Structure 1
Amino acid sequence: MPRSRPGALRARQTPGSPSRTRTRTREEPQPERIPGLSARTSLAIHRVEHEHAGFHVFRGSTERALHRYHAFVTTPGRRILYPRTAVCPACPGCAFDDVRHARDVLDEILPLLPPRPRAELARTIKTLDRRYLHRTLPDPRVPPTAPWWHHRLAEGAEGW
């Protein structure tokens, strides 16, 4: 006589008793993968954004910051790039017009991530940072307390 599998035995438990098998109910759809990152890292970022809502970190802010930073440093041509100040830096959405704000967001989310997703995002950011340093000029007038990406020569305002 064949033996019943353990899963089949657990499935026949009484209806009121909790099942030992792990069933997952999804209230929200699975978040989409962030381009350039693995599904695991994307999921970790979405979880952190959901848990740590604030001015810099909110749902979709990392993806938007990564896209903005990538678009800035991969601008076609060899000319020098100049970051521009956002016209409305007080708005969480408009602040992304300034690529330095996008880099601020990426810097703020890194320590909130678990080790492996943090390492993957850090590698991606490091590649973009090298391009940023190569395509921008240093600005000696910036206070030394500002992050290094603010120490680049900027011009005017961007947006509207």
Structure 2
Amino acid sequence: MPRRRPGALRAHRTRHPAPRTRAAPPPPRILGLSATTTLAVHRVEATYPDVLLFPGATSTALFRYRAFLIPGRRPLYPRTSVCPSCPGCALDDVREARDTLAEVLRRLPPRPAGELASVLAALDGRYAARTLPDPRAAAEGGAWWHGRLGEGAEGW
């Protein structure tokens, strides 16, 4: 008895496949990160919602961190945000923006975390070079970027 070819069997099964559609458009790209890392970041923001992580928090924090480190030679002084309890306004303080990036970095899978870490390493070097250490903050502990001299509040 003749046998049907495997291709003929597969063609019969997949004659009218369901079209591939997306329920939602892809998330917007984060400047300076690959599409894979951007997707991983958006998954982290959707999976672990809290005060630091909300949809778009990483993009906003990275933009704020880069904007603070504009090219120049004079020392920079981070400022406290006017409304630190509001999630969006808290990112006006570059130290809070860096806290958000550290939280995302901690929760990312290894490969996207490595890409984000390399972007942050370059920005951290510029931040350390352009800000001055605060001798009083050394006793308080916390992340190293909180131990830099700051001035006043943002917008005051």
TM-score by length of 1: 0.86
Taking a change above 3 Å as real, the CA distance of residues 159 and 26 of structure 1, as seen in their structure-2 partners, is farther
SS state of the match for residue 22, structure 2? coil
The letter for the 2-side match of 1:55 is V
Number of residue equivalences: 152
What RMSD, in angstroms, separates the aligned Cα atoms of the two structures? Answer: 2.2
Aligned residue among 95, 99, 113 for 1:100: 95
TM-score by length of 2: 0.88
In structure 1, list runs of 5 or more residues that go unmatched: 14-20
TM-superposed CA distance for 1:145, in Å, is 1.9
Encode CA deviations 1:55-98: one digit per residue, 9 max, x unaligned.
0011000010011001111x232100000000100000111110
Percent identical: 58
Taking a change above 3 Å as real, the CA distance of residues 6 and 82 of structure 1, as seen in their structure-2 partners, is farther
Taking a change above 3 Å as real, the CA distance of residues 6 and 83 of structure 1, as seen in their structure-2 partners, is farther
Mapped partners of 1:55, 1:122: distance in 2 = 22
For residues 1-160 of structure 1, what are the structure 2 equivalents within 5 Å? 4=7, 7-12=10-15, 24-73=20-69, 75-142=70-137, 143-159=139-155
Taking a change above 3 Å as real, the CA distance of residues 25 and 144 of structure 1, as seen in their structure-2 partners, is same
Taking a change above 3 Å as real, the CA distance of residues 141 and 28 of structure 1, as seen in their structure-2 partners, is same
